[in-house]
Amino acid sequence: MSDKLKTIKIKNISDFVQQVDWAKVHGLAPVITQDYWSSRVLMLGYMNREALQKTLTEGKITYYSRIRSVLWTKGETSGNFQIVKKVFLDCDNDTILIKIKQKGVVCHTGRKTCFYQEIN
């Protein structure tokens, strides 16, 4: 097996959105965000079809809030936008990885990542 990245040619954004297996998690897909330069994991969120379409169209990450059942664009109120650099789909087509350029902090606690609690 090769560890080379496979580039998927898509004609339009809708083609990519359709490749995601939305049925596995009741119309949602987990989204991992990583820093584009360091590959540090920044946060985990969820998207539905509409959030992914908006993210790919506008170039800023929009998530789906499972608690409030609404779309929210990261940075809309804080100015801490996540700018899309690269998008990956996993081997099962049910998880999305997005490499981003982060404006400001990621976490609502004011930290650079939501993963700051290490278990010893």
Does 21 show up as a binding residue in the annotation? Answer: no
Average pLDDT over residues 23-37: 96
Question: Looking at domain 13-102, what is its CATH homologous superfamily?
Answer: Phosphoribosyl-AMP cyclohydrolase (3.10.20.810)
Residue 53 Cα distances to 4, 19, 60, angstroms: 27, 12, 11
Residue-wise DSSP of 70-119:
EEEETTTTTS--EEEEEEEE-TTS--EEEEEEE-S-SSTTS-S-S-----
Does 107 show up as a binding residue in the annotation? Answer: yes
Does this model's pTM top 0.85?
Answer: yes
* Residue pLDDT, tens place only, 110-120: 999 999 999 99
* Residue pLDDT, tens place only, 5-24: 556 666 778 888 989 999 99
Does 94 show up as a binding residue in the annotation? Answer: yes
- What is the reported pLDDT for 16? 85
CB neighbourhood size of 90 (10 A): 14
Does 92 show up as a binding residue in the annotation? Answer: yes
**14-18, 44-48, 98-102, range with the lowest pLDDT:** 14-18
Per domain, the residue ranges of the chain are: 13-102
Average pLDDT over residues 38-64: 97
